[in-house]
Amino acid sequence: MIDSRDIYVLAGASASDSFAPSLRDLAAELHVDHTLVHRSLKRAVEAGLYSPSLQSVNLPAFEELVIHAARFIAPAPLGPLVAGVPAAWAAEPMASRIRQSGEDPPPVWPSADGTVRGQLFEPLHPSAPAAAVEHPQFGEVLVLIDSLRVEDLRVRKVAAKLFHDQLAAVSAKVVA
């Protein structure tokens, strides 16, 4: 059964700068243990989301999973006010497309290094904030996935379009 860690690993694999990164390289980029990557990819193979022979994510299947099921696999209710880094619709590429009421605190991933006070938004994996800072392209993918995990239909529609475009760009890069 696919869970939030698997979505995190697949997102990292799809956003990786290196073509077909090794398990250890991917684990280092994601700030997780390589056994977590191995187990996640094994479940992804069983679900048809990852091809071990091509060492790549099945992007159309991954897109379908994230757009239609991420909010059920990894729901994201907003929590109490905490210090953190902007997440979901409060971070780019969503922030420039979704306007938020000035009264509502933004969603944030909790982080001791965070500079924004907002509502707690649990990331797919606790390592997400650190990995996103080191790998901005991965951070953008996580922002889009987080935006697809919320109940707000308006936010999900914008995120679905941007996520589709992002995966299409990845697919075009792989083909080229």
Tens of each residue's pLDDT in the chain, 176 residues: 899 999 999 999 998 766 557 899 999 999 999 999 999 999 999 999 999 998 899 999 999 999 999 999 999 999 999 999 999 999 999 999 988 767 889 999 998 888 899 999 999 999 999 999 899 999 999 999 999 999 999 999 999 999 999 999 887 766 55
The Cα–Cα gap between 153 and 133 comes to 28
The Cα–Cα gap between 25 and 42 comes to 17
Composition of the chain by helix, strand, coil, percent to 5:
55, 10, 35
The Cα–Cα gap between 27 and 58 comes to 19
The Cα–Cα gap between 61 and 94 comes to 23
The Cα–Cα gap between 110 and 49 comes to 29
pLDDT at 175: 56
